[in-house]
Amino acid sequence: MNADTMNADTVIEAKGLTKTYGEAVAVDHISFTVGRGEIFGLLGPNGAGKTTTILMLLGLTEISSGEVSVLGFNPAREPLSVKRRVGYMPDAVGFYDGLTAAENLRYTARLIGFDRSEREKRIADALDRVGLGDVAQKRVRTFSRGMRQRLGLAEILMKGAQIAILDEPTTGLDPHATSELLAIIRGFKAEGVSVLLSSHLLDRVQSVCDRVALFNGGRIALMGTVPELGREVLGAGYVVDIEADGAGLAERLTLIPGVSGVERTGIGKLRLHADRDVRPEAAVEVVAMQGRLKYLGVQEPSLDAIYTRYFATKAEEAANAKEGARHAA
Amino acid sequence: MRREGSAFAGLGVVMLKELSDHLSGIRMIVLEWLIVLMALGVVYTGIQQIREVSAEDPFLFLRLFTRAGEGLPSFVSVLSFLVPLVAIGIGFDLVNSERNQRTLSRILAQPIYRDALLFGKFLAALLTMTIILVALWLMVIGLGILTLGLPPGVEEVARAGAMLLVTIFYAGVWVALALLFSIIFRSAATAALAALGLWLFLTILWPLLSPYIAALFVSDTVSTPSDLLSHLSVLQAFARVSPGALFGEIVGVLLDPTVRSTQQPLLASLGLALVQPGSIPGAPLPLMQSLEVVWPQTVAMIASAILLFVIGYVIFQRQEVRA
C-alpha cells in the first residue's frame, strides 16, 4: 500500500488489524479510516484495546495480522517516516522533571532533527499556543497535570505533525483544564491536522469528535457520527420537549407529519417522538393556537445513553441465547 | 523485512543529553567525591611507604598504583572495589526511570529506533566513567610527580595507560550489568538492590567460596609441578567468574613487569617461585610480553561487557512500550 492507492483524504486506514498476546486477543480484526482534518474518537472502557491499536499505528508494537497505512506508510516497515509525521501524546504523558519545559521540547526537537534556529522558533511558538509561554523556563517538576498535558500538545504542535494521536488526553483533569485542552484539540482540526483520540470519558469527548468508534473487548462495536449511532441504537431518532399552554395543543401536535407520538410529562409539558427534527412545525402550531411558548428543545442523543443501551442490549441477547440453549438441551 | 533508515539516528542526541544529566546530577558529584577521596587517600599513604622502602626500584612510579599503606588497600584494590559501585550508581535506573517518568513511549514516538536510545545511554554512562577515571589517573600521576620528585619513564606511562584502559573496560562490564538490571526490573530500587547484591556477592563472597567449589573438581593429591599448575588453573577458572578477579589478574601483570604469569602471585603465596625455561627469575618483562600474558583476560572482560549489553538489548527490544 502506498500513497497513490490511498484516497487522498484518508490519513489512517486500518484493515483487519489484530494483536494477540499468546492466546489472549487484545485487538480483534478492527477496520477503520480517519480522514484529513477529522477528529476521530476511539471510545470504550479500559482494556478494550484502544492503546494497543494506537501503538500499532505508531509501529511501537508488532502487528499480529492485518494491514495498516498511516499517511501512506506502513508503520511496521517504515516506522521512522510515520513517527516523523505523527505526533503522539501517551496516556498520562511524562516529561523529564529536572528539565524546563523548553529544554524538554528541545530534546525532542533534536531527536526529530530540526536545526538550531528552526528549533527555537518552533518551541517558542508551540509553548505560546498552549499558553505555557510564561513558564517555558520553569522546571516541569512544578507543573500540574493539566500543564503537562498541554506541554504534550505543544510537543505535537512543535513537531508540525499531520496527525495527532492522543491517548486519554482528558483523564484526571479538572473541568476547566479539560475545556482548555479540548479547545486546543479543536485548534488542531482548524489547521487541517487529523486527530485520533482515545477516551473512556464519553460525554466530554462527544463534544469534539466528528466520528467515534466504540470499542468493546478488542472489537469495534459501533462506528459513525454521534447522531447516527443514536438513531441506530436508541431507535426512532428525535425527541422534542415543549413547554407551552393552550387547550388541545397535544392533539394539534399529533397531526404534524413525522410525529409518531405525544406524551404529557408534566403540567403544560409535552414530549414529541418524531423521525426528524420537528421543532419549526411545533413552534408554528403553538403560535397558531396563540399559546405561550416557554421552552422548545430537541434532545441530542448522548454517547453515554448510546453506550449504556448498546451494552445492556448485548448482555440481554447473550442471556437470551444462553436461555435458548438450555431449553434446546 | 528490512527497516528503513539508520538504527543510530538520534544516537548522538541521546548520548549528549544523558551525558549532561550524569555530569550535572547530584548523584554523580557524590560518587565522584567518594572515589576520588578514597583513591587519593590510599595513594598518599602508599607514597609514604614507597619513600621509606624503595631506593633502587626501576619501576618506582608503578608502585603508586600497587603499593598500599599500613593496613590499607592499594589504589588498584580501591578501583576494583569502587568502580562497580560507581557504575551501578550511574546505571541502575537508566531505562526504568524512563518508564517510571512515563517518558519512554513519548521518546520512542519520535523518529528514532530503540537501538539509539539504549546504545546512547550505555555510551554516555561509559563516557562518564571514563571521564572520572581519566581525571583520577591524572591526579595520581600528578601527585606522584609532586611527592616523589621524579618524572615517570615512557614504559611506566605506557603500562599505567594500559591499566587505565583495562579499568575502563572493567567499568564497561558493570555499566552493562547495571543497564541490564534497569531493563529487567521496572522498579529502580529493585534494580539497584539486585545489582548491589550481585556486586557484594562477586567481590566479597565469591573469592571466599570459589576455592571450595573448585576443590570439588580437582584431586587432593598434588605430586608433580604440572599437577599443581592444573590445580591452580581450576582455582583461577572459578575465581574469574567475578570480573574483579579478572581485573586483578590483568593489572597485577601490567603494573609489575617481573610478573610473568597470572599464576605467579598464587605460587608465591604458597612459597613457590615460577621458573620458566630460559628466563631469569625476577627480570622484568618487556611491555609487549606483559600485554600478551593478559590478552586473554582482557578479551574475556570486553566480551562479557558486550554479552551483558546484548542480553539487555534483546530483552529491551522485546518489551512492550506501554507502562
Say yes or no: B21 contacts chain A, CB-CB below 8 A.
yes
Cell of A229: 449511532
| Interacting residues of A33 by C-beta distance below 8 A, sequence separation 6+ | A7, A10, A12, A13, A14
Widest CA span of chain B, in angstroms? 69
Q: Which three cell numbers stand for residue B46?
A: 602508599
Q: Which chain B residues are closer than 8 Å to A77 by Cβ?
A: 1-4
Rounded to whole angstroms, the Cα distance separating A123 from A101 reads 9
d(CA A253, CA A271): 10
Per DSSP, A89 falls in state: E
pLDDT classification of A5: cutoffs 50, 70, 90: very low
Q: Give residue-wise pLDDT tens across range B191-213.
A: 999 999 999 999 999 999 988 88
The span from the CA of B173 to the CA of A95, in Å, is: 30
Tell me whether residues A111 and B107 touch, CB distance under 8 A: yes
Identify the CA nearest to A98 among candidates B25, B136, B303.
Answer: B25
Which residue, among A2, A61, A80, A86, would best test binding to B if mutated, counting the most B CBs under 10 Å from its CB? A80
DSSP A212: E
* Closest alpha carbon within chain A to B320: A61
With CB atoms and an 8 Å threshold, state whether A81 touches B105: no
Q: Does B109 touch chain A (CB under 8 A)?
A: yes
Pairing of strands A86-89, A163-167: parallel
Contact A107 B17 (CB under 8 A): yes
Q: What is the pLDDT of residue B2?
A: 66
Beta bridge partners of residue A89, listed in sequence order: A166
Report percent pLDDT > 90 for chain B. Answer: 53
Indicate the helix (H) or strand (E) that contains A18.
Answer: strand A10-21
Domains observed in chain A: 34-62+73-224 (3.40.50.300), 238-298 (3.30.70.100)
For the segment A266-275, the average pLDDT, to the nearest whole number, is 82
CB A102 within 8 A of CB A122: no
**Nearest to residue B270, comparing CAs of B210, B222, B316, B317?**
B222
Tell me the pLDDT tens digit for each residue of B238-278: 889 999 999 999 999 999 888 888 877 777 777 777 777 77
Task: Establish if A307 touches chain B: CB-CB under 8 angstroms.
Answer: no
Is-contact A199 A165, C-beta < 8 A? no
Question: How would DSSP label each residue in A221-286?
Answer: EEEE-HHHHHHHHH-S-EEEEEEE--TTHHHHHHTSTTEEEEEEEETTEEEEEESS--HHHHHHHH
- B70 to chain A, any CB pair closer than 8 A? The answer is no
- The letter for the amino acid at A205 is V
DSSP string of A122-174, one letter each residue: HHHHHHHHTT-GGGTTSBGGG--HHHHHHHHHHHHHHHT-SEEEEESTTTT--
CA distance B221 to chain A (A): 56
Q: What residues are paired with A139 via a beta bridge?
A: A100
Other CB atoms closer than 10 Å to residue B54's CB: what's the count?
13
B13 chain-A contacts, CB cut-off 8 A? 107, 110-111
Highest-pLDDT range among A118-127, A178-187, B255-264: A118-127
The mean pLDDT of B99-112, rounded to a whole number, is 94
User: B127: closest CA among B27, B241, B20?
Assistant: B20
Query: Which of B3, B13, B111 faces A83 most closely, judged by CB atoms?
Result: B111
Mode of pairing for the β-strands spanning A39-43 and A211-216: parallel
Least confident span in A132-141, A152-161, B142-151, B185-194: B142-151
Closest CA to A83 of A13, A15, A161: A161
Instruction: Note whether A60 contacts B105, CB cutoff 8 Å.
Output: yes
A108 vs B110: CB contact, 8 Å cut-off? yes
Contact B106 A81 (CB under 8 A): no
Give the residue with greater pLDDT, B320 vs B277.
Answer: B320
Is 50 exceeded by the pLDDT of residue A2? no
With an 8 Å Cβ cutoff, is B320 touching chain A? Answer: yes
For chain B, give the mean pLDDT. 89
Question: Shortest Cα distance from A78 to chain B (angstroms)?
Answer: 6
For residue A300, pLDDT over 80 is answered with no
Among A207, A224, A87, smallest CA distance to A153 is for A87
Among B2, B10, B105, beta carbon nearest to A111: B10
Tell me how far apart the alpha carbons of residues B304 and B174 are, in angstroms, rounded to a whole number.
10
A95 touching B (Cβ < 8 Å)? yes
> For B4, which of A61, A77, A86 is closest by C-beta distance?
A77
Identify the pLDDT of residue B44. Answer: 84
pLDDT mean over A122-127: 96
Q: Report the pLDDT value the prediction gives residue B301, as an integer from 0 to 100.
A: 95
Domain ranges of chain B: 11-318
Prediction ipTM score: 0.87
pLDDT at A4: 43
